[in-house]
Chains A and B, each alone.
Chain A
Amino acid sequence: MLNRFSQIHRSTYLWLGVIALVLLPWVVGASGGNYWVRVLDFALLYIVLALGLNVVVGFAGLLDLGYIAFYALGAYSYALLASPHLPQHFESIAAALPAGMHFSAWFAAIFAIILAALFGIILGLPTLQLRGDYLAIVTLGFGEIIRIFMNNLDRPLNLTNGPKGITAIDPIQLFGINFAKTLDLGFMKMPGLYLVFYLFTSLAIGVAIVCLHLQDSRIGRAWVAIREDEIAAKAMGINTRNMKLMAFAIGASFAGVAGVLFSAFQGFVSPESFTLWESIVVLAMVVLGGIGHIPGVILGAILLAVFPEVLRGVAEPVQNFLFGHVIVDVEVIRQLIYGLALILVMLYRPGGIWQKRSAS
């Protein structure tokens, strides 16, 4: 009886949640304009990134400071597969593809998953013996190497167009819908930004479900066992090498997909989007929200993705009002508050803002 009751409750909550998510872009769009819908869209990409990094850092306990490199790989995959860049610079490609380079986002997503997973394994293999700070340094180096490559691969062959980045990337087109244009449904018009919101929400939910399933599986338990005590994990017959590589590969593939959508959404990529700072922000989302705890990680991603935009809207007017001019730059305030928030969370809630109930 009780069970039946709670089941009814659960489905009620589920439907309320779905309705809220469907209405969210309309409410936000009506009250704050398209700018804020865009902020939401980016927040959803960050959720996917944070969930992916959580597999590596939260589940398997492998500190990765170069995670954004996989995002970059995904972004550049789509940028190269669906923009005029390659045909412009390579005659042979232009000759082979007279209609231009326009691979679909589906194809690019699969390509990016495989590529990012492969690079995850490439990063994982030489670092199997490393833990903690040592691993952090190597992964940091890896992230920088990828970014520097993107920054410099405009000579002798112009693969990435260097710091100028790649422009004119095809918008997302799935199920015959162009996500950059307003969709006319007959009875209503749906702006592209809202469509993107629904697409990214579906992806984020899908990734969250995959994470939840993994967590409650033989593989998820093996990851946590490795995090807790690697030698004991081996003594349980766990092939720690394969499990670690799997964690790297899965975390990386999530970032790869997110990267594809990022470049399609922006229509432009450049190495600037994939700096060490971005890796640190995603890590901060995981740590601040609740490391290893999926709802917490999602919360962390939303907080840290939306917060800078709120600050942007608040910091300057407040300073102007108080002092007549801007004293401290918004960017500086943002970093200050990030640092402060991390220190406070580490001091008072080391498990994160929304941590697992049993973690004490």
Chain B
Amino acid sequence: MTLLLDVTDVSKRFGGVQALENVGLQVPRGSIVGLIGPNGAGKTTFFNVITGLYPADAGMFLFDGVAYSPESVANVTKAGLARTFQNIRLFGGMTVLENVMVGCHCRSKASLLGAIFRFPSTKREERAIREKSRALLTYVGLREYADMQARNLSYGHQRRLEIARALATEPKLLALDEPAAGMNATEKLDLRELLLRIRADGTTILLIEHDVSLVMGICDNLTVLDYGKVIATGKPADVRSHPEVIRAYLGQGAV
């Protein structure tokens, strides 16, 4: 399997805190890779660095075999790496459908003049955007909420909408920051099923998650972060019994 994302030696410092130190992460094409670690380990910082939200102090970034420098979030998304946010960031005042339609922005090209004069090509594109967005809502199971304002959705549905919106950017790699946070058991089961379906349909997934059963259940590979360093990488079963991981999660005495 070839690597879709290959990131090595990423470092990031915030003032006196070394948030990331020589962190590396490999995501094989077609897999689900989990990034786990205790609170404050640097998972979200790492996410923000590879998606261009924070500039990295150092690091090598390869996406789909091409070197990229994550400096602009928009360009990273255009390259095919879409993300969701730990603290949900929907466009609350827009409808559910419009949220997904915004996701189609970087794969459509109507110009200012096209928007104003509505050329036949613009109308066609607009129709395609609408159809694609409706299809994506059906895909994540939110079809009946299409005309609802996004901020009125339930928590679990908001998470799903974020995923649909990210899928609308047609990513090769979908990076999810704690998608199961705050979900109840049924919602987690549904989420798991959705993630497996997304992978089966050809999108690679990078997952930050606290929920151990979800991570252990669906990830092909795990990378464990603690205090900004990678302490273990491997199959879920190997990582689970790794002494460093047990120490990080359960404390020194547990080993």
Interface residues of A (CB under 8 A from B): 210, 213-214, 216-222, 224-225, 227-229, 231-240, 246, 250, 358-360
Task: List the 9 closest pairs (A to B, CB-CB), nearest first.
Answer: A237-B106, A217-B115, A237-B77, A228-B91, A232-B89, A234-B73, A225-B102, A218-B110, A219-B115
Contact A221 to B115, CB < 8 A, known contacts A235-B73, A359-B93: no
Contact A233 to B102, CB < 8 A, known contacts A214-B116, A224-B93, A246-B112: yes
In the complex, how many angstroms separate the beta carbon of A213 from the nearest chain B beta carbon? 5
B192 within 8 A of A: no
Q: Are A235 and B112 in contact (CB under 8 A)?
A: no
With most chain A CB atoms within 10 A of its CB, the pick from B91, B104, B114, B118 is B91
In the complex, how many angstroms separate the beta carbon of A349 from the nearest chain B beta carbon? 16
Q: Are B92 and A220 in contact (CB under 8 A)?
A: no
Q: Which residues of A contact B110 (CB under 8 A)?
A: 217-219
Q: Are B74 and A222 in contact (CB under 8 A)?
A: no
With most chain A CB atoms within 10 A of its CB, the pick from B106, B108, B122 is B106
Q: Which of B11-19, B30-38, B78-86 lines the interface with chain A?
A: B78-86
The CA-CA distance from A237 to B93 in the complex, in Å, is 19
Q: Are B82 and A217 in contact (CB under 8 A)?
A: no
Point out the residue from A214, A222, A228, A235 that lies within 8 Å of B77, measured CB to CB. A235
Closest to A217 in B: B115
The CA-CA distance from A359 to B149 in the complex, in Å, is 8
In the complex, how many angstroms separate the beta carbon of A237 from the nearest chain B beta carbon? 3
Interface string of B58-102 (1 = CB under 8 A from A): 000000000000001111011000110100011111110010011
The CA-CA distance from A232 to B104 in the complex, in Å, is 13
In the complex, how many angstroms separate the beta carbon of B95 from the nearest chain A beta carbon? 7
Q: Are A236 and B92 in contact (CB under 8 A)?
A: no
In the complex, how many angstroms separate the beta carbon of A187 from the nearest chain B beta carbon? 36
Q: Are A240 and B126 in contact (CB under 8 A)?
A: no
Q: Are A213 and B115 in contact (CB under 8 A)?
A: yes
Interface string of B147-166 (1 = CB under 8 A from A): 10100000000000000011
